Amino acid sequence: MQAHEGHYIDGAWRPAAGSGEVIEVVNPATEEVIATVPAGTAEDVDAAVAAARSAAGAWRATPRDERLAALTRLRDGIASHQDEIAATVVAELGSPLRLAQALHSTLPVAVATSVLEVLAEFPFEEKVGNSTVYYEPAGVVGAITPWNYPLHQIVAKVLPALAAGCPVVLKPAENTPLTARLFASIVHDAGLPAGTFNLVTGLGTVAGAALAEHDGVDVVSFTGSTAVGRRIGAAAGRGIKRVALELGGKSANVILPGADLTRAVKVGVGNAFLNAGQTCSAWTRMLVSDADYDQAVELAAKSAEGYVPGDPTDRSTRLGPLVSAVQRERVRAYIETGVREGARLVAGGAEAPEGLDKGYYVRPTVFADVEPGMTIAREEIFGPVLSILRYRDAEHALEIANGTDYGLSGGVWAADPAEAAAFARRMEAGQIDINGGAFNPAAPFGGYKNSGVGREMGRFGLEEFLQTQSLQF
């Protein structure tokens, strides 16, 4: 076990304030404590915000080319540490090694590259009639990130903020702080000016709350649960801060008649089980027509058999553990609720996977005969649990798809892509994949309704950290 000390503040690792309390980092596959990090306090947050505010003037005045060069070094540093990043994510998140190498350590590089491309071309000054409009940094950014994609979510907030000219204070999730500390080391090696990036580890209820409520923070960017997002939004509102919230989801994967059913179901199951189901945009509701329903259920159950929980360090493992014991019990409780409310279990279940005496594992689970009003069809489970719902016609499918408090993501499948796109345009969701369309780091990511406000990725993510000033001539 490694005891990590200090927070990264004003360009250096500085001793933590307070009583010396720590957070234990647990390997989800072994249940062993692998490290400790400081449990940051409001005093630590004060120091980090003060450093950011001190750096703000010089960083906002830094020419575009210099910011671009610094962030290019940072992107290259991430790329050069991909093996270490993957190993860290395996250890503290429980991500299967193959997924950590293919997604957790590579997606941040792609996102960072997209930010660099936007920064190189963004019009920070433009003419609008008789006005000249300037896009200015919005100020100090408080970034609060989740544990499910520990580096991606950091990069998706920190790099656009820095590109916009805003210094950042990051409070990462307490489950996965080691990835954040590795990122801070990469920032340091990239030679960014002291104070432009600061890291405070700690509990959300302490360090996170202090950051969201801090008078010295101008923008709060949060990714996490809707319940916590509401509290952060309220705190930001009291301080008249700008806020961006990327929250939960209960996304629908709609398979229209005539679609390639085999492929749609296979991809849909993979999407729902990706990252052990710990993905806010996961397609956790599969909607299938009456005519295709029985075959789809059979295909989904068969596909689920390929997701055998196992040791995340084994490259053959496709499904690792959940991040914590709390998360495991939450997911198992949802599975039990699904059975109790009358859904038909066709794969998995609440029992512990065979042969795994340790680790926060859950069996990959598929429910059929799920009704829209059931708990498992309404609430975000955040585990490898898929619900399959039946619809009569396209209007009924649309009613079910939109009949949720969330609106983050979704998928639509049809023989004719134009038909799928027409259906998707009527869905209340921020991003929808047509026939399995690939993720695009330059496109806006964010949701409708209780899935949040604001957008990340591409120029849309940069604009979250900018404010306008116009001069009329």
**CA geometry: angle 423, 427, 430, nearest 5 deg:** 125
Cα dist. 238→90, 221, 231, 361, 423 in Å? 39, 16, 11, 41, 39
Cα dist. 115→167, 195, 218, 256 in Å? 16, 21, 21, 36
What backbone torsions phi and psi does residue 66 show, to the nearest 5 degrees? Answer: -70, -40
Asked if 466 and 164 touch (Cβ cutoff 8 Å), the reply is yes
| Active-site residue, 166 included | no
> Whose CA is closest to 124, among 55, 61, 196?
61
SS3 260: coil
| Active-site residue, 32 included | no
Q: What residues are paired with 448 via a beta bridge?
A: 407
Q: What is the CA radius of gyration of the chain?
A: 22
**C-alpha 8 chain-centroid distance:** 23
* Cα 427 to Cα 401: distance, rounded to the nearest angstrom: 7
**C-alpha 40 chain-centroid distance:** 22
* Residue of 166, 213, 280, 464 marked active site: 280
* Cα 412 to Cα 410: distance, rounded to the nearest angstrom: 7
* Cα 92 to Cα 182: distance, rounded to the nearest angstrom: 12
**C-alpha 434 chain-centroid distance:** 21
Instruction: Give DSSP secondary structure letters for 212-235.
Output: HH-TT-SEEEEES-HHHHHHHHHH
* Residue of 92, 174, 246, 419 marked active site: 246
Q: Residue holding tokens 């104070």? A: 195
Q: Where are the extended beta strands (E) located within 108-240?
A: 125-128, 131-137, 141-144, 168-171, 197-199, 219-223
Strand order in the sheet with 22-26: 2-3, 33-38, 22-26
Extract the tokens encoding 205: 């209820």
Cα dist. 188→181, 191, 192, 206 in Å? 11, 5, 6, 26
Give me the helix-helix angle, 64-80 and 150-164, nearest 10°.
Answer: 170
Give the active site residues. 246, 280
